Amino acid sequence: MAGGLSRGPLSAAVLGLVTSGPPGAGRLPAPPGPCSDPWSEDHQLALHLCYELHDRGLPGVHPGWEWDPELLRLRRDLENAFLAAVRAEAEPVPALPEALERLLAEPPEGRGPSYFLRAEGERWQAREYLVHRSVYHLKEADPQLWVLPRIHGPAQAVLMTVAYDEYGSGRPERAHSLLFARMMAAFGLDARYGYYLDLVPAVSLAVVNLMTLLGLHRALRGAAVGHFASIEITSSPGAARLADALERLGGGPDGTLFYREHIEADAVHEQLVRRGVIGELVSQEPELARDIAFGTAAATVLDNRFGDHLLDCWREGRTSLRTALPA
């Protein structure tokens, strides 16, 4: 992964530094001016590479880079610009009760990739969708676990209950990341972690980057909880549509099990997250209510950007990836 292609000066600087040897062997080149476009391919890849040092690491990269001060300074600048852009699009953020109610409403007029794939999607589009989502689902729900030590009491206990399900409830073969890998294989895709990084565009990287950004900062723990709530509350109907779409496109048992699993699991998780996590957390720290609402709004911003990109590309008959997959 670390040997992949850069997408501009920022990602080239990160790649050049972490592949130069152990920390201290080189200095981070000064970025060419401010981070002008936080939605760009260059910006999102640079941020993704910084975050991978905290997750599974980068192949051939010394683990000491995770806490290198030079790299952390660049990551801070990347984060600040990205978070400001998300906040600008998320405003005005509704009060928390309204924010949660909005999550229960389905997209107007059936708009979204799951509707498209179920109604008229083709197999090549389904394969692209899985490649996009692999950036997150092959490590589901690792980004959310950063928030666990940052909340306490009943909210922490219930969040751990939800996370336990994500990792298979004690049955490793039922871990959601492994179910997703089986689904990719059923559609002729390579399920190795990070295999398709060079194909995945910024709009998909941004979805996962936001999860990690919120989870890594204690000051944003409320937003991290709100973002996670958005995933759990909204995913069950979409999972049902995707399961139907993938079955229609020849997915078979392995090609639909991941989404079939989420239909029931996330319906239960919705109630746990709304009452046991958010309700308890707000009762303990009421000042976090606005941050939780922002987390839900931020998730919607990123999901809408992702969905619009896919639909715009597919309706024009072109790939939604940076380069089309082999047939």
Per-residue pLDDT of the chain (327 residues; tens, 9 = 90+): 444 689 999 999 899 889 988 997 556 555 555 567 999 999 999 999 999 999 999 999 999 999 999 899 999 999 999 999 999 999 999 999 999 999 888 766 678 999 999 999 999 999 999 999 999 999 999 999 999 999 999 999 999 999 999 999 999 999 999 999 999 999 999 999 999 999 999 999 999 999 999 999 999 999 999 999 999 998 889 999 999 999 999 999 999 999 999 988 767 888 899 999 999 999 999 999 999 999 999 999 999 999 999 999 999 999 999 999 987
Using the structure block, give the residue that is written with the tokens 């509707």: 115
The two tokens of residue 117 are: 């794939």
pLDDT at residue number 245 = 98
pLDDT at residue number 203 = 98
- 188-222 burial code (b ≥16 CB/10 A, e <16): ebebebbebbebbbbbbbbbbbbbbbbbbbeebbb
pLDDT at residue number 217 = 98
pLDDT at residue number 5 = 86
With 0-12 / 13-18 / 19 or more C-beta atoms within 10 angstroms meaning exposed / middle / buried, residue 20 is: middle
Instruction: Please report, as a single letter, which amino acid is at residue 134.
Output: S
CATH superfamily of the 95-315 domain: Heme oxygenase-like (1.20.910.10)
What is the per-residue DSSP string for 56-120? T--TT--GGGGG-HHHHHHHHHHHHHHHHHHHHHHPSPPPHHHHHHHHTSPPGGG-SHHHHHHHT
d(CA 180, CA 182): 5
pLDDT at residue number 105 = 80
What is the pTM assigned to this prediction? Answer: 0.95
pLDDT at residue number 215 = 97
pLDDT at residue number 110 = 76
pLDDT at residue number 20 = 87
- The backbone region for 142, taken as left when phi is positive above 0, alpha when psi lies in -120 to 50, beta otherwise, is alpha
pLDDT at residue number 1 = 47
pLDDT at residue number 45 = 97
pLDDT tens readout for residues 9-57:
999 989 988 998 899 755 655 555 556 799 999 999 999 999 999 999 9
d(CA 327, CA 189): 11
The CATH 1.20.910.10 portion of the chain extends over 95-315
d(CA 168, CA 170): 5
What lies within 8 Å, CB to CB, of 213 at 6+ separation is 47, 51, 79, 82, 83, 220
The two tokens of residue 57 are: 């690491």
255 phi/psi in degrees, rounded to 5? -80, -5
